[in-house]
Amino acid sequence: MKYSARDQEWAEWMRSAIKGDTQAYHRFLSAVTPHLRAMARRRCDQFGAPASEAEDVVQEVLLAVHLKRGTWDPDRPIGPWLSAIVRNKLIDSLRRRGRHVNVPIEDVIATLEAEEQSDGLDRLDAQHMLERLKDPQRDIVRSISLEGAGVRETAERLKMSEGAVRVALHRALKSLAALYRSDAREDE
C-alpha cells in the first residue's frame, strides 16, 4: 500500500515530536487541526448537534491525540492510527453531547450563521476551565497558552525547575481532558 506525501510528512513530524521536538509537534498539530475541524463540523451536522460544539469536539480530539500518541508505532503509517483515534473520540464526544442536544432546526441555522462570524474558535470559557485546574498547573497553562511563553521561560517566571514545569504541564493536560469529559456529562 502506498501512503501519501502528506502522511509521510505528518509521520516525520510526529517522530521528531516524540523525541521532544516542540516545533515539529506544533507543525503536526496545526496541520491536523483543519481536518479535524472539517470532520467535527460534518459529524455535528449528522448527529444534529449544534455546529458551535464542533470546536469543543476538535479540542477534545486534539487532547486525545496528544495523550494517546504513545500508542502510535513510529514504524507504521500515521494515517490509520490518526483516523482510528479521531473516529473513536469524535463518536464518543458527540454521543455524550448528542444525548442532551435537542435543538430545533431554526436554532441550528441561527447558530450556523453566528458561527460563520466568530469562526467558533473560542467556545470554551478559558477562565472557567483554568479556574478548575490546581495551583501550579493553572499558572503554567496560563503562561504557556495565553501568554505564549515556552517551558524554560515559564520555569524562570514561576521559579520552578524545567522538569517540574514539564511534569505539571503533562498533569494539567490530563486534567483538562478529564474536565472536558465531566463537563459534557454534567450537561446531561
Binding site for another protein (CB under 8 A): 17-26, 29-30, 33, 55, 58-59, 62-64, 66, 68-73, 76, 80-85, 88, 121-122, 124, 126, 129-130, 141, 144-146, 148, 150-151, 166, 169-170, 173
Nearer to another protein, 64 or 184 (CB): 64
Q: Is 50 left (phi over 0), alpha (psi -120 to 50) or beta?
A: beta
Residue type, 78: I
Nearer to another protein, 24 or 112 (CB): 24
Least distance from C-beta 106 to another protein, angstroms?
Answer: 28
Are 36 and 91 contacting, i.e. CB atoms less than 8 angstroms apart? no
Distance CA 128, CA 157 (A): 23
Least distance from C-beta 110 to another protein, angstroms?
Answer: 23
Least distance from C-beta 153 to another protein, angstroms?
Answer: 10
Nearer to another protein, 109 or 126 (CB): 126
Which are the contacts of 4, defined by CB distance < 8 A and separation ≥ 6?
79
DSSP H or E segment with residue 76 = none
Nearer to another protein, 19 or 109 (CB): 19
Q: Positive or negative, the Cα torsion across 127, 130, 136, 137? A: negative
Least distance from C-beta 58 to another protein, angstroms?
Answer: 6
